[in-house]
C-alpha cells in the first residue's frame, strides 16, 4: 500500500516549483550591472531579461526585436534613469506601459553624487 501512495504523495511536491514559478513576475532591466544585481536578488526564481547588451552604449541604442519583446512581456521594468537611457522612456511607454517601472535613481535612499570631471574625477 505504501508503494502505491508514494507517486500520489509526491505529485503535489513535484508541482510546487511550477506553481511558484507562475507567480514570479517577468522582469526586464536596462544595463548589465543592473542585470547582475537583479539576478542575485531573484536567485533561483528566474532571471531578468537584459535590454541593452554588454558593450553597447546605453545613451543611444537600437533595440533588437527580441529585446523589444522582453519589454513588452515584462511585468516589472528596472532601469537606472531616463538620463542614462533617454530613448528607453518612449519604448517603456509603448512596449511596457502595463509594467511596473522602477527607476533606481528615484528609489528612496539612493546616494546621488555630484558630477565629477577630469581624468581622476577631481
Q: Residues 48, 28: contact at Cβ < 8 Å?
A: yes
If the chain, 122 residues long, is cut into consecutive pieces of 10 residues, what is the mean pLDDT of each piece? 37 44 85 95 93 88 90 95 90 92 93 80 61
48/66 Cα distance (integer angstroms): 13
28/85 Cα distance (integer angstroms): 14
pTM: 0.73
Q: For residue 65, give the 3-state DSSP assignment.
A: helix
CATH of domain 25-106: 3.40.50.1980
Q: Residues 27, 79: contact at Cβ < 8 Å?
A: no
In the chain, where the domains are located:
25-106
Q: For position 9, what pLDDT does the model report?
A: 35
Amino acid at each position: 500500500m505504501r508503494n502505491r501512495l508514494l507517486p500520489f504523495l509526491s505529485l503535489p511536491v513535484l508541482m510546487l516549483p511550477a506553481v511558484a514559478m507562475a507567480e514570479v513576475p517577468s522582469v526586464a532591466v536596462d544595463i548589465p550591472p543592473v542585470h547582475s544585481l537583479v539576478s542575485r536578488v531573484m536567485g533561483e526564481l528566474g532571471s531578468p531579461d537584459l535590454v541593452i547588451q554588454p558593450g553597447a552604449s546605453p545613451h543611444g541604442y537600437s533595440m533588437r526585436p527580441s529585446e523589444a519583446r522582453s519589454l513588452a512581456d515584462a511585468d516589472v521594468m528596472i532601469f537606472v534613469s531616463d538620463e542614462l537611457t533617454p530613448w528607453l522612456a518612449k519604448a517603456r511607454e509603448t512596449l511596457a506601459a502595463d509594467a511596473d517601472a522602477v527607476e533606481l535613481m528615484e528609489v528612496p535612499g539612493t546616494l546621488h553624487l555630484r558630477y565629477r570631471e577630469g581624468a581622476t574625477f577631481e
